Amino acid sequence: MRLLGKRAEGARALFASDIHGSLTVFKKLLNAALMYKAQYVIIGGDISGKALVPIVDLGDGAYEAEGKVLRAGDLTRYIGELKARGEYYVVVSKGDYEELIADKRKVEEAFNRALVEMVAEWDSIALEKLKGAGIRVMASLGNDDPPFLAEALRGTEALEYVEGSVVEVAGREMLSYGFTNPTPWHTPREKSEEEIYSDLRALADKLARPDQAIFNIHAPPYGTNLDNAPQLTEDLRPIIRGGEVVTFHAGSKSVRRIIEEVQPLLGLHGHIHESRGYDKIGRTLVLNPGSEYGAGLLHAALVVLGDKGVDGYQLIIG
């Protein structure tokens, strides 16, 4: 890892991925951007949380959630804990709760509303925290994000939706792409390797200076330090041998292929939470900061972009 030093005076970009709804991690990302004097914040997909917790209003200032009874004074603290670990909530009456249990469609509608409300809350926080700082916050979706979130992001003021486009970052071109190769979980935004390559080839063909480009692609390239994932059984449990989890390369072969062909300056990736690291594919530096969103930890990559290339980079946790 090339650590940042006193001479790292170029433009600074802070990259994070797989926040999965954690308000704590999102706030830490904005704070880190201010602390490290970044001009760019890049969020590389999987911004959605994974669970919706119903909070049942029992009346008389009492609520029930996850098998626990809460008084009104504890409710704010409990909701804060949910947001910190990337979970959503909906306050319902006993009757509404029974309807939720009986109708999966109502659960999905409540979950989707919570996602849109999360984007609006993040936008409001970013507007306030970054006011006057001159920091661009760019976001794309990942495989776990429902497609309708793109529209929610387009409606924000502080967050710039960049997926499927080529935008300027520190005088360079950055393409962004969030679909991944198939996973055991059959997530909302997966494509075949053939489709992924076709999409990426079309984006790469728009680049004026491909050798100086940044590839913000959610899936990591296959066969690198960035895509080591636990090997799973048919019921999605990790395979353990000799007391250790068995891993395999789960990244995208199409992502690796396009990087090998184009040889951009930098690849920013996520998706595989456990595979924090860096690697080289030819001349291209590729990074995956990893993710521990459930623990409220920010994983990010700080990159300094100079006139001739990457002046320095560092994987940070906080």
Same domain assignment for residues 165 and 229: yes
Q: pLDDT for 204-241, tens place per residue?
A: 999 999 999 999 999 999 999 999 999 988 888 899 99
Last-in-domain residue among 95, 112, 129: 112
Same domain assignment for residues 216 and 84: no
Q: What is the span of the domain harbouring residue 303? A: 11-51+116-317
Question: How far is residue 153's CA from residue 229's CA, in Å, rounded to a whole number?
Answer: 29
Please give the structure tokens belonging to residue 156. Answer: 């924000």
Res 314: pLDDT? 97
Same domain assignment for residues 94 and 123: no
Last-in-domain residue among 112, 144, 161: 112
Domains identified in the chain, total number: 2
Same domain assignment for residues 159 and 70: no
Same domain assignment for residues 168 and 292: yes
CATH, residue 88: 3.30.420
264's CB contacts (< 8 A; 6+ apart) are 210, 211, 212, 213, 214, 215, 284
Parallel, antiparallel or unpaired: strands 284-288 and 277-281: antiparallel
Burial of 105 per CB tally in 10 Å (0-12, 13-18, 19+): exposed
The residue assigned the tokens 């066969």 is 223
Write the DSSP string, 203-238: HHTT-S-GGG-EEEESSPBTTSTT-EEE-B-TTS-B
Same domain assignment for residues 146 and 269: yes
Q: pLDDT for 13-25, tens place per residue?
A: 999 999 999 999 9
Same domain assignment for residues 203 and 291: yes
pTM of this structure: 0.93
| 174 in Cβ contact with 50 (< 8 Å) | no
Res 72: pLDDT? 76
* Residue 115 CB coordination number (10 Å): 20
Report the largest interatomic distance among the alpha carbons of the chain, rounded to a whole angstrom. 65
Res 6: pLDDT? 42
Same domain assignment for residues 189 and 307: yes
Last-in-domain residue among 112, 127, 152: 112
Among 112, 117, 167, smallest CA distance to 139 is for: 167
Same domain assignment for residues 228 and 99: no
Same domain assignment for residues 311 and 277: yes
Among 70, 77, 37, smallest CA distance to 55 is for: 70
Res 293: pLDDT? 96
Same domain assignment for residues 98 and 40: no
For the chain, which ranges sit under pLDDT 70? Answer: 1-9
Please give the structure tokens belonging to residue 235. Answer: 């019921």
CATH, residue 305: 3.60.21.10
